[in-house]
Structure 1
Amino acid sequence: MNYETLTREMRRLAIEAGVKIMEIYDADQMDVEVKADDSPVTAADKAADELISDGLRAAFPDVALVTEEQAASHRVDATTFLIVDPLDGTKEFINRRGDFTVNIALVEDGCPVRGVVYAPAKKRMFYTDSVGKSVEETGEFDPETPGETRPIRVSTPNNSALMVVASKSHRDQATDDYIAKYEVKDMTSAGSSLKFCLVATGEADLYPRLGRTMEWDTAAGHAVLAGAGGRVVRFDDHTPLAYGKLNYANPFFIAYAPGITLKDG
Protein backbone atom coordinates (compact mmCIF):
# COMPACT_ATOMS: atom_id res chain seq x y z
CA MET A 1 0.00 0.00 0.00
CA ASN A 2 1.24 3.46 -0.94
CA TYR A 3 0.32 5.38 2.21
CA GLU A 4 0.88 8.80 0.64
CA THR A 5 -1.67 7.99 -2.05
CA LEU A 6 -4.01 6.52 0.52
CA THR A 7 -3.86 9.62 2.71
CA ARG A 8 -4.53 11.87 -0.25
CA GLU A 9 -7.45 9.80 -1.54
CA MET A 10 -9.11 9.24 1.83
CA ARG A 11 -8.92 12.93 2.62
CA ARG A 12 -10.25 13.96 -0.80
CA LEU A 13 -13.13 11.50 -0.78
CA ALA A 14 -14.15 12.39 2.77
CA ILE A 15 -14.35 16.08 1.87
CA GLU A 16 -16.25 15.45 -1.36
CA ALA A 17 -18.67 13.17 0.50
CA GLY A 18 -19.07 15.90 3.12
CA VAL A 19 -20.19 18.35 0.44
CA LYS A 20 -22.95 15.98 -0.69
CA ILE A 21 -23.99 15.29 2.88
CA MET A 22 -24.27 18.98 3.74
CA GLU A 23 -26.39 19.69 0.66
CA ILE A 24 -28.98 17.26 2.01
CA TYR A 25 -28.49 18.36 5.64
CA ASP A 26 -29.25 21.97 4.71
CA ALA A 27 -32.30 21.13 2.60
CA ASP A 28 -35.79 21.91 3.90
CA GLN A 29 -36.95 18.29 3.81
CA MET A 30 -35.11 15.08 4.70
CA ASP A 31 -36.40 11.66 3.65
CA VAL A 32 -35.58 8.88 6.11
CA GLU A 33 -35.89 5.14 5.48
CA VAL A 34 -35.50 2.24 7.91
CA LYS A 35 -33.12 -0.63 7.15
CA ALA A 36 -33.65 -4.30 8.01
CA ASP A 37 -31.88 -3.83 11.36
CA ASP A 38 -34.23 -0.92 12.21
CA SER A 39 -31.48 1.66 11.86
CA PRO A 40 -32.23 4.81 9.83
CA VAL A 41 -30.72 5.61 6.45
CA THR A 42 -31.00 8.78 4.36
CA ALA A 43 -30.19 9.92 0.84
CA ALA A 44 -27.01 11.39 2.30
CA ASP A 45 -25.80 7.96 3.48
CA LYS A 46 -26.39 6.55 0.01
CA ALA A 47 -24.86 9.43 -1.94
CA ALA A 48 -21.75 9.53 0.24
CA ASP A 49 -21.36 5.77 0.07
CA GLU A 50 -21.50 5.74 -3.73
CA LEU A 51 -18.94 8.53 -4.04
CA ILE A 52 -16.48 7.01 -1.56
CA SER A 53 -16.85 3.43 -2.78
CA ASP A 54 -16.37 4.38 -6.43
CA GLY A 55 -13.32 6.48 -5.53
CA LEU A 56 -11.66 3.81 -3.40
CA ARG A 57 -12.30 1.04 -5.91
CA ALA A 58 -10.80 3.17 -8.67
CA ALA A 59 -7.72 4.11 -6.64
CA PHE A 60 -7.16 0.73 -4.94
CA PRO A 61 -8.71 -1.96 -7.14
CA ASP A 62 -6.75 -4.76 -5.49
CA VAL A 63 -7.75 -3.92 -1.91
CA ALA A 64 -10.94 -5.39 -0.44
CA LEU A 65 -13.64 -2.89 0.50
CA VAL A 66 -16.17 -3.17 3.33
CA THR A 67 -18.83 -0.48 3.61
CA GLU A 68 -21.86 -0.22 5.86
CA GLU A 69 -24.34 0.51 3.10
CA GLN A 70 -23.42 -2.46 0.86
CA ALA A 71 -24.49 -5.73 2.47
CA ALA A 72 -22.57 -7.82 -0.07
CA SER A 73 -19.33 -6.26 1.16
CA HIS A 74 -19.96 -7.63 4.66
CA ARG A 75 -19.00 -11.07 3.40
CA VAL A 76 -15.46 -9.98 2.53
CA ASP A 77 -12.80 -12.32 3.93
CA ALA A 78 -9.49 -10.46 3.92
CA THR A 79 -6.78 -9.49 6.37
CA THR A 80 -6.19 -6.16 4.61
CA PHE A 81 -9.25 -4.11 3.74
CA LEU A 82 -10.64 -0.60 3.47
CA ILE A 83 -13.68 0.01 5.65
CA VAL A 84 -16.18 2.85 5.32
CA ASP A 85 -19.04 4.40 7.21
CA PRO A 86 -20.15 7.12 4.79
CA LEU A 87 -22.31 8.84 7.41
CA ASP A 88 -21.64 7.85 11.01
CA GLY A 89 -24.19 9.30 13.40
CA THR A 90 -27.25 9.21 11.17
CA LYS A 91 -29.49 9.98 14.15
CA GLU A 92 -27.45 13.11 14.83
CA PHE A 93 -27.77 14.00 11.15
CA ILE A 94 -31.54 13.50 11.10
CA ASN A 95 -31.98 15.61 14.23
CA ARG A 96 -29.63 18.23 12.77
CA ARG A 97 -27.31 18.15 15.77
CA GLY A 98 -24.11 18.25 13.72
CA ASP A 99 -22.24 15.40 15.43
CA PHE A 100 -21.95 13.17 12.38
CA THR A 101 -18.86 12.12 10.48
CA VAL A 102 -17.49 10.53 7.34
CA ASN A 103 -15.26 7.59 8.30
CA ILE A 104 -12.73 5.86 6.04
CA ALA A 105 -10.02 3.51 7.31
CA LEU A 106 -7.49 0.89 6.29
CA VAL A 107 -7.18 -2.28 8.36
CA GLU A 108 -4.06 -4.45 8.16
CA ASP A 109 -3.77 -7.73 10.06
CA GLY A 110 -6.63 -6.87 12.38
CA CYS A 111 -5.44 -3.35 13.20
CA PRO A 112 -6.73 0.00 11.85
CA VAL A 113 -3.50 1.63 10.66
CA ARG A 114 -4.77 4.63 8.70
CA GLY A 115 -7.98 6.63 8.85
CA VAL A 116 -9.83 9.87 8.31
CA VAL A 117 -12.71 11.28 10.34
CA TYR A 118 -14.42 14.33 8.85
CA ALA A 119 -17.22 16.20 10.60
CA PRO A 120 -18.48 18.62 7.93
CA ALA A 121 -21.07 20.37 10.09
CA LYS A 122 -18.51 20.88 12.86
CA LYS A 123 -15.82 21.87 10.36
CA ARG A 124 -13.30 19.50 11.95
CA MET A 125 -11.18 16.90 10.21
CA PHE A 126 -8.72 14.44 11.66
CA TYR A 127 -6.57 11.93 9.82
CA THR A 128 -3.40 9.90 9.88
CA ASP A 129 -0.60 11.16 7.67
CA SER A 130 1.54 9.02 5.39
CA VAL A 131 3.66 7.76 8.30
CA GLY A 132 0.69 7.04 10.56
CA LYS A 133 0.85 10.11 12.82
CA SER A 134 -2.46 11.86 13.45
CA VAL A 135 -3.17 15.49 12.59
CA GLU A 136 -6.09 17.88 12.62
CA GLU A 137 -6.53 20.01 9.51
CA THR A 138 -7.94 23.51 9.60
CA GLY A 139 -9.08 25.81 6.82
CA GLU A 140 -11.56 25.54 3.98
CA PHE A 141 -11.14 21.80 3.34
CA ASP A 142 -10.37 21.93 -0.36
CA PRO A 143 -10.44 18.32 -1.61
CA GLU A 144 -7.43 18.84 -3.86
CA THR A 145 -5.29 21.13 -1.70
CA PRO A 146 -4.61 20.21 1.92
CA GLY A 147 -4.78 23.05 4.42
CA GLU A 148 -2.64 23.63 7.48
CA THR A 149 -2.38 20.74 9.89
CA ARG A 150 -1.32 20.42 13.49
CA PRO A 151 -0.11 17.23 15.15
CA ILE A 152 -2.50 15.89 17.76
CA ARG A 153 -1.59 13.92 20.84
CA VAL A 154 -3.46 12.31 23.70
CA SER A 155 -3.37 13.89 27.14
CA THR A 156 -1.28 12.87 30.10
CA PRO A 157 -4.27 11.92 32.25
CA ASN A 158 -4.73 12.68 35.91
CA ASN A 159 -6.47 9.66 37.43
CA SER A 160 -7.95 11.82 40.16
CA ALA A 161 -9.49 14.29 37.68
CA LEU A 162 -10.39 12.59 34.41
CA MET A 163 -12.16 14.08 31.42
CA VAL A 164 -14.69 11.58 30.07
CA VAL A 165 -16.64 11.57 26.80
CA ALA A 166 -19.67 9.35 26.24
CA SER A 167 -22.20 8.71 23.51
CA LYS A 168 -24.85 11.34 22.91
CA SER A 169 -27.48 8.99 21.46
CA HIS A 170 -26.63 5.70 23.18
CA ARG A 171 -25.96 6.63 26.80
CA ASP A 172 -27.35 4.13 29.31
CA GLN A 173 -27.22 3.24 32.99
CA ALA A 174 -24.51 0.62 32.49
CA THR A 175 -22.25 3.28 30.98
CA ASP A 176 -22.97 5.70 33.82
CA ASP A 177 -22.28 2.98 36.38
CA TYR A 178 -18.93 2.21 34.78
CA ILE A 179 -17.91 5.86 34.55
CA ALA A 180 -18.77 6.21 38.25
CA LYS A 181 -15.86 3.87 39.04
CA TYR A 182 -13.46 6.70 38.06
CA GLU A 183 -12.69 10.06 39.61
CA VAL A 184 -14.17 12.37 37.00
CA LYS A 185 -13.44 16.06 36.70
CA ASP A 186 -15.81 16.72 33.82
CA MET A 187 -17.93 14.90 31.28
CA THR A 188 -19.07 15.68 27.77
CA SER A 189 -21.25 13.96 25.20
CA ALA A 190 -20.57 13.62 21.50
CA GLY A 191 -21.97 11.67 18.59
CA SER A 192 -20.32 9.40 16.06
CA SER A 193 -16.58 8.75 15.93
CA LEU A 194 -15.88 12.28 17.15
CA LYS A 195 -15.53 10.71 20.61
CA PHE A 196 -12.33 8.94 19.53
CA CYS A 197 -11.02 12.22 18.14
CA LEU A 198 -11.68 14.11 21.36
CA VAL A 199 -9.50 11.58 23.16
CA ALA A 200 -6.91 11.86 20.37
CA THR A 201 -6.65 15.63 20.79
CA GLY A 202 -6.49 15.50 24.58
CA GLU A 203 -9.93 17.11 24.96
CA ALA A 204 -10.98 13.93 26.78
CA ASP A 205 -9.07 11.14 28.48
CA LEU A 206 -11.53 8.25 28.42
CA TYR A 207 -14.34 6.98 26.19
CA PRO A 208 -16.08 3.76 27.32
CA ARG A 209 -18.60 2.17 24.96
CA LEU A 210 -20.97 -0.37 26.47
CA GLY A 211 -23.22 -0.79 23.48
CA ARG A 212 -23.50 -2.22 20.01
CA THR A 213 -21.09 -0.92 17.38
CA MET A 214 -19.77 -2.22 14.10
CA GLU A 215 -16.23 -2.04 12.79
CA TRP A 216 -17.14 0.62 10.21
CA ASP A 217 -18.32 2.80 13.12
CA THR A 218 -14.99 2.62 14.91
CA ALA A 219 -12.08 1.82 12.55
CA ALA A 220 -11.33 5.36 11.38
CA GLY A 221 -11.58 6.87 14.85
CA HIS A 222 -9.52 4.02 16.24
CA ALA A 223 -6.79 4.71 13.66
CA VAL A 224 -6.77 8.42 14.47
CA LEU A 225 -6.57 7.73 18.19
CA ALA A 226 -3.77 5.19 17.74
CA GLY A 227 -1.84 7.67 15.59
CA ALA A 228 -2.11 10.16 18.46
CA GLY A 229 -0.75 7.70 21.02
CA GLY A 230 -4.06 6.36 22.32
CA ARG A 231 -5.39 2.86 22.78
CA VAL A 232 -8.62 0.93 22.25
CA VAL A 233 -9.20 -2.29 24.19
CA ARG A 234 -12.00 -4.74 24.77
CA PHE A 235 -14.15 -3.96 27.80
CA ASP A 236 -14.11 -7.54 29.10
CA ASP A 237 -10.40 -8.35 29.24
CA HIS A 238 -8.60 -5.14 28.21
CA THR A 239 -6.91 -6.82 25.23
CA PRO A 240 -6.54 -4.77 22.01
CA LEU A 241 -9.71 -4.40 19.95
CA ALA A 242 -9.15 -6.38 16.75
CA TYR A 243 -10.80 -6.04 13.33
CA GLY A 244 -11.99 -8.48 10.70
CA LYS A 245 -14.29 -10.21 13.19
CA LEU A 246 -17.32 -12.31 12.28
CA ASN A 247 -20.02 -10.02 10.82
CA TYR A 248 -17.76 -7.03 11.66
CA ALA A 249 -19.45 -6.65 15.05
CA ASN A 250 -17.53 -5.15 17.97
CA PRO A 251 -17.65 -6.14 21.62
CA PHE A 252 -17.91 -3.41 24.24
CA PHE A 253 -14.68 -1.41 24.35
CA ILE A 254 -12.73 1.36 26.08
CA ALA A 255 -10.78 4.07 24.22
CA TYR A 256 -8.33 5.95 26.38
CA ALA A 257 -5.09 7.85 26.86
CA PRO A 258 -2.29 5.67 28.27
CA GLY A 259 -1.73 6.35 31.93
CA ILE A 260 -5.32 5.74 32.98
CA THR A 261 -5.76 2.94 35.48
CA LEU A 262 -8.57 1.00 33.81
CA LYS A 263 -11.34 -0.36 35.99
CA ASP A 264 -12.96 -3.75 35.54
CA GLY A 265 -16.52 -3.80 34.35
Structure 2
Amino acid sequence: MDYEKITATLRALALEAGAEIMTVYEGPDFEVKSKSDSSPVTEADERADALIAAGLAAAFPEIPVVTEEQSESHAIAADVFFLVDPLDGTKEFIQRRGDFTVNIALIEKGVPTRGVVYAPAKGRLFYTDAKGRSVEEAGPHRVDTTGETSALKVSVPDPDGLVVVASKSHRDQATDDYIARYPVSDFRSAGSSLKFCLVAAGEADLYPRLGRTMEWDTAAGQAVLLGAGGKVVRFDDLKPLGYGKGGFENPFFIAYVPGVKLAEAS
Protein backbone atom coordinates (compact mmCIF):
# COMPACT_ATOMS: atom_id res chain seq x y z
CA MET A 1 0.00 0.00 0.00
CA ASP A 2 1.44 3.37 -1.06
CA TYR A 3 0.62 5.39 2.05
CA GLU A 4 2.60 8.40 0.83
CA LYS A 5 0.34 8.64 -2.20
CA ILE A 6 -2.77 7.93 -0.12
CA THR A 7 -1.95 10.69 2.34
CA ALA A 8 -1.24 13.22 -0.40
CA THR A 9 -4.34 12.28 -2.37
CA LEU A 10 -6.74 12.35 0.59
CA ARG A 11 -5.38 15.71 1.73
CA ALA A 12 -5.66 17.26 -1.74
CA LEU A 13 -9.17 15.94 -2.38
CA ALA A 14 -10.38 17.17 1.01
CA LEU A 15 -9.07 20.66 0.28
CA GLU A 16 -10.57 20.69 -3.21
CA ALA A 17 -13.91 19.46 -1.89
CA GLY A 18 -13.77 22.06 0.89
CA ALA A 19 -13.34 24.79 -1.71
CA GLU A 20 -16.42 23.54 -3.58
CA ILE A 21 -18.40 23.48 -0.36
CA MET A 22 -17.38 27.02 0.59
CA THR A 23 -18.46 28.31 -2.83
CA VAL A 24 -21.98 27.21 -2.00
CA TYR A 25 -21.74 28.18 1.68
CA GLU A 26 -20.67 31.75 0.95
CA GLY A 27 -23.04 32.20 -1.98
CA PRO A 28 -26.73 33.07 -2.10
CA ASP A 29 -29.42 30.85 -0.62
CA PHE A 30 -29.15 27.23 -1.72
CA GLU A 31 -31.72 24.49 -2.12
CA VAL A 32 -32.07 21.90 0.61
CA LYS A 33 -33.48 18.56 -0.50
CA SER A 34 -34.47 15.49 1.52
CA LYS A 35 -33.00 12.05 0.90
CA SER A 36 -34.94 8.81 1.24
CA ASP A 37 -34.08 8.66 4.96
CA SER A 38 -35.36 12.26 5.39
CA SER A 39 -31.86 13.61 6.06
CA PRO A 40 -30.97 16.85 4.26
CA VAL A 41 -28.68 17.15 1.25
CA THR A 42 -27.50 20.22 -0.64
CA GLU A 43 -25.64 21.10 -3.82
CA ALA A 44 -22.48 21.32 -1.71
CA ASP A 45 -22.80 17.65 -0.64
CA GLU A 46 -23.29 16.57 -4.23
CA ARG A 47 -20.46 18.63 -5.70
CA ALA A 48 -17.99 17.55 -3.05
CA ASP A 49 -19.02 13.92 -3.42
CA ALA A 50 -18.55 13.91 -7.19
CA LEU A 51 -15.11 15.48 -6.87
CA ILE A 52 -13.87 13.07 -4.20
CA ALA A 53 -15.28 9.94 -5.83
CA ALA A 54 -13.75 10.80 -9.19
CA GLY A 55 -10.41 11.69 -7.63
CA LEU A 56 -10.15 8.46 -5.66
CA ALA A 57 -11.18 6.35 -8.66
CA ALA A 58 -8.54 8.02 -10.83
CA ALA A 59 -5.74 7.69 -8.26
CA PHE A 60 -6.61 4.22 -6.93
CA PRO A 61 -8.81 2.37 -9.45
CA GLU A 62 -8.17 -0.90 -7.61
CA ILE A 63 -9.69 0.31 -4.32
CA PRO A 64 -13.51 0.51 -4.04
CA VAL A 65 -15.13 3.71 -2.77
CA VAL A 66 -18.11 3.74 -0.41
CA THR A 67 -19.66 7.17 -0.08
CA GLU A 68 -22.75 8.40 1.74
CA GLU A 69 -24.21 10.13 -1.29
CA GLN A 70 -24.06 7.16 -3.67
CA SER A 71 -26.47 4.50 -2.43
CA GLU A 72 -25.24 1.96 -4.99
CA SER A 73 -21.85 1.99 -3.28
CA HIS A 74 -23.45 0.76 -0.05
CA ALA A 75 -23.58 -2.75 -1.48
CA ILE A 76 -19.78 -2.92 -1.62
CA ALA A 77 -18.12 -5.48 0.66
CA ALA A 78 -14.32 -5.44 0.67
CA ASP A 79 -11.39 -5.82 3.04
CA VAL A 80 -9.87 -2.57 1.76
CA PHE A 81 -11.96 0.41 0.68
CA PHE A 82 -12.28 4.16 0.94
CA LEU A 83 -15.12 5.52 3.05
CA VAL A 84 -16.34 9.05 2.33
CA ASP A 85 -18.66 11.60 3.86
CA PRO A 86 -18.22 14.58 1.54
CA LEU A 87 -20.01 16.97 3.90
CA ASP A 88 -20.45 15.77 7.45
CA GLY A 89 -22.64 18.12 9.45
CA THR A 90 -25.08 19.17 6.74
CA LYS A 91 -27.39 20.61 9.39
CA GLU A 92 -24.55 22.82 10.64
CA PHE A 93 -23.86 23.81 7.01
CA ILE A 94 -27.50 24.72 6.36
CA GLN A 95 -27.60 26.88 9.49
CA ARG A 96 -24.25 28.41 8.50
CA ARG A 97 -22.68 27.55 11.84
CA GLY A 98 -19.34 26.37 10.43
CA ASP A 99 -19.03 23.03 12.24
CA PHE A 100 -19.03 20.84 9.14
CA THR A 101 -16.26 18.72 7.70
CA VAL A 102 -15.03 16.74 4.72
CA ASN A 103 -14.26 13.17 5.78
CA ILE A 104 -12.24 10.65 3.78
CA ALA A 105 -10.86 7.42 5.29
CA LEU A 106 -9.06 4.27 4.21
CA ILE A 107 -10.45 1.11 5.78
CA GLU A 108 -8.23 -1.97 6.03
CA LYS A 109 -9.74 -5.15 7.45
CA GLY A 110 -12.29 -3.26 9.50
CA VAL A 111 -9.91 -0.59 10.82
CA PRO A 112 -9.71 3.05 9.66
CA THR A 113 -5.94 3.27 9.18
CA ARG A 114 -5.69 6.58 7.35
CA GLY A 115 -8.00 9.56 7.30
CA VAL A 116 -8.45 13.27 6.73
CA VAL A 117 -10.91 15.63 8.39
CA TYR A 118 -11.11 19.14 6.95
CA ALA A 119 -13.29 21.89 8.41
CA PRO A 120 -13.14 24.54 5.67
CA ALA A 121 -15.19 27.20 7.44
CA LYS A 122 -12.95 26.92 10.51
CA GLY A 123 -9.69 26.53 8.62
CA ARG A 124 -8.71 23.37 10.50
CA LEU A 125 -7.13 20.39 8.71
CA PHE A 126 -6.39 17.11 10.47
CA TYR A 127 -5.01 13.95 8.89
CA THR A 128 -2.85 10.87 9.37
CA ASP A 129 0.55 10.96 7.72
CA ALA A 130 2.13 8.15 5.70
CA LYS A 131 3.23 6.42 8.90
CA GLY A 132 -0.23 6.62 10.47
CA ARG A 133 0.63 9.44 12.87
CA SER A 134 -1.91 12.21 13.18
CA VAL A 135 -1.11 15.86 12.53
CA GLU A 136 -2.86 19.19 12.24
CA GLU A 137 -1.70 21.37 9.38
CA ALA A 138 -1.62 25.13 9.88
CA GLY A 139 -3.30 27.32 7.29
CA PRO A 140 -3.71 28.88 4.90
CA HIS A 141 -4.17 25.54 3.19
CA ARG A 142 -3.08 25.03 -0.41
CA VAL A 143 -3.45 21.89 -2.50
CA ASP A 144 0.00 22.21 -4.07
CA THR A 145 1.95 23.10 -0.91
CA THR A 146 1.90 21.39 2.47
CA GLY A 147 1.95 23.84 5.36
CA GLU A 148 3.57 23.46 8.74
CA THR A 149 2.27 20.46 10.63
CA SER A 150 2.15 19.73 14.35
CA ALA A 151 1.86 16.23 15.78
CA LEU A 152 -1.38 15.43 17.56
CA LYS A 153 -1.23 13.68 20.89
CA VAL A 154 -4.10 12.97 23.23
CA SER A 155 -4.19 14.53 26.67
CA VAL A 156 -3.27 13.02 30.00
CA PRO A 157 -6.67 13.28 31.68
CA ASP A 158 -7.31 14.62 35.16
CA PRO A 159 -9.36 11.82 36.75
CA ASP A 160 -11.08 14.38 38.97
CA GLY A 161 -12.07 16.71 36.17
CA LEU A 162 -12.54 15.48 32.61
CA VAL A 163 -13.13 17.62 29.53
CA VAL A 164 -16.07 16.19 27.61
CA VAL A 165 -17.13 17.01 24.06
CA ALA A 166 -20.53 16.18 22.59
CA SER A 167 -22.68 17.01 19.61
CA LYS A 168 -24.29 20.37 18.89
CA SER A 169 -27.16 18.93 16.87
CA HIS A 170 -27.68 15.46 18.38
CA ARG A 171 -27.60 15.83 22.17
CA ASP A 172 -30.15 13.72 23.99
CA GLN A 173 -31.05 12.73 27.52
CA ALA A 174 -29.30 9.36 27.29
CA THR A 175 -26.03 11.09 26.44
CA ASP A 176 -26.46 13.61 29.24
CA ASP A 177 -27.24 10.83 31.72
CA TYR A 178 -24.09 8.96 30.69
CA ILE A 179 -21.90 12.04 30.94
CA ALA A 180 -23.29 12.65 34.42
CA ARG A 181 -21.49 9.49 35.59
CA TYR A 182 -18.14 11.24 35.20
CA PRO A 183 -16.43 14.05 37.11
CA VAL A 184 -16.52 16.81 34.48
CA SER A 185 -14.53 20.03 34.78
CA ASP A 186 -15.37 21.44 31.35
CA PHE A 187 -17.79 20.73 28.56
CA ARG A 188 -17.27 21.49 24.89
CA SER A 189 -19.80 21.37 22.10
CA ALA A 190 -18.85 20.66 18.50
CA GLY A 191 -20.47 19.43 15.33
CA SER A 192 -19.60 16.66 12.90
CA SER A 193 -16.35 14.68 13.18
CA LEU A 194 -14.60 17.65 14.80
CA LYS A 195 -15.39 15.99 18.12
CA PHE A 196 -12.91 13.19 17.39
CA CYS A 197 -10.32 15.78 16.38
CA LEU A 198 -10.72 17.76 19.59
CA VAL A 199 -9.96 14.60 21.53
CA ALA A 200 -7.02 13.84 19.23
CA ALA A 201 -5.64 17.36 19.71
CA GLY A 202 -5.72 17.10 23.49
CA GLU A 203 -8.61 19.56 23.74
CA ALA A 204 -11.02 17.00 25.24
CA ASP A 205 -10.80 13.66 27.03
CA LEU A 206 -14.10 11.95 26.30
CA TYR A 207 -16.68 11.88 23.51
CA PRO A 208 -19.63 9.52 24.04
CA ARG A 209 -22.15 9.02 21.25
CA LEU A 210 -25.39 7.35 22.28
CA GLY A 211 -27.21 7.93 19.04
CA ARG A 212 -27.38 6.79 15.45
CA THR A 213 -24.33 7.30 13.25
CA MET A 214 -23.13 5.76 10.04
CA GLU A 215 -19.62 4.55 9.33
CA TRP A 216 -18.88 7.41 6.93
CA ASP A 217 -19.67 9.84 9.77
CA THR A 218 -16.95 8.44 12.01
CA ALA A 219 -14.21 6.66 10.05
CA ALA A 220 -11.93 9.59 9.23
CA GLY A 221 -12.27 11.09 12.69
CA GLN A 222 -11.55 7.73 14.28
CA ALA A 223 -8.43 7.34 12.11
CA VAL A 224 -7.19 10.74 13.31
CA LEU A 225 -7.90 9.87 16.94
CA LEU A 226 -6.22 6.45 16.71
CA GLY A 227 -3.16 8.07 15.15
CA ALA A 228 -2.96 10.45 18.11
CA GLY A 229 -3.10 7.66 20.70
CA GLY A 230 -6.82 7.64 21.44
CA LYS A 231 -9.39 4.87 21.43
CA VAL A 232 -12.90 4.28 20.08
CA VAL A 233 -14.96 1.41 21.46
CA ARG A 234 -18.49 0.14 21.21
CA PHE A 235 -20.73 1.25 24.06
CA ASP A 236 -22.22 -2.19 24.60
CA ASP A 237 -19.12 -4.37 24.93
CA LEU A 238 -16.13 -1.95 24.81
CA LYS A 239 -14.66 -3.73 21.79
CA PRO A 240 -13.01 -1.54 19.12
CA LEU A 241 -15.48 0.11 16.76
CA GLY A 242 -15.06 -1.69 13.44
CA TYR A 243 -15.97 -0.96 9.82
CA GLY A 244 -17.50 -2.74 6.87
CA LYS A 245 -20.59 -3.81 8.82
CA GLY A 246 -23.70 -4.71 6.89
CA GLY A 247 -25.65 -1.53 6.25
CA PHE A 248 -22.71 0.58 7.48
CA GLU A 249 -24.58 1.59 10.65
CA ASN A 250 -22.62 2.06 13.87
CA PRO A 251 -23.63 0.98 17.34
CA PHE A 252 -23.35 3.53 20.15
CA PHE A 253 -19.70 4.24 20.91
CA ILE A 254 -17.26 6.03 23.19
CA ALA A 255 -14.15 7.89 22.01
CA TYR A 256 -11.67 8.62 24.77
CA VAL A 257 -8.05 8.95 25.82
CA PRO A 258 -6.11 6.32 27.77
CA GLY A 259 -6.41 7.02 31.46
CA VAL A 260 -10.15 7.64 31.42
CA LYS A 261 -11.93 4.98 33.43
CA LEU A 262 -15.07 4.22 31.46
CA ALA A 263 -18.38 4.06 33.29
CA GLU A 264 -20.37 0.86 32.86
CA ALA A 265 -23.13 0.80 30.26
CA SER A 266 -26.63 0.44 31.62
Find out whether 1:247 has 2:247 as its counterpart: yes
2:124–2:139 Cα contact (<8 Å) kept: no
Counterpart position of 2:202: 202
Paired with 1:245 and 1:174, the residues of 2 have a C-alpha distance of: 24
Q: TM-score, normalised by structure 1?
A: 0.99
1:53 is the counterpart of 2:44: no
| Per-residue deviation, 1:144 | 1.4
Higher mean displacement: 136-145 or 113-122: 136-145
User: For 1:199-229, what per-residue CA distance to the aligned partner results, in whole angstroms no more than 9, with x for missing partners?
Assistant: 0001000000000000000000000000000
SS at match of 2:242: coil
Q: Distance in 1 between matches of 2:264 and 2:246?
A: 25
List alignment gaps of at least 5 residues for structure 2. Answer: none
Note if 1:16 corresponds to 2:16: yes
Q: Distance in 2 between matches of 1:9 and 1:61?
A: 13
How far did residue 64 of structure 1 move? 1.1
CA offset digits 1:142-195 (Å, max 9, x no partner): 011111100010001112100000010000000000000000001011000000
- State the SS of the aligned residue for 2:171: coil
Aligned to 2:225: 225
Partner SS, residue 82 of structure 2: strand
1:1-265 correspondence runs (5 A)? 1-265=1-265
Shift of 1:23: 0.5
Cα deviation, residue 79, structure 1: 1.0
Query: Alignment partner of 2:223: what SS?
Result: helix
- The alignment-based identity, stated in percent, is 66
TM-score, normalization by structure 2: 0.99
Number of positions where the alignment pairs a residue of Structure 1 with one of Structure 2: 265
Cα shift at 1:264: 1.2
**Structure 2 residue matching 1:213: 3-state secondary structure:** coil
In structure 1, give the amino acid aligned to 2:6.
L
Note the aligned Cα RMSD (angstroms): 0.5
Whether contact under 8 Å (2:101, 2:118) holds in the other structure is yes
Q: Counterpart amino acid of 1:11?
A: R
**What residue identity is the alignment partner of 1:150?**
S
Deviations 1:69-96 (A, max 9, x none): 0000000010111000000000000000
Deviations 1:93-119, CA, capped at 9 Å, x for gaps: 000000000000000010000000000
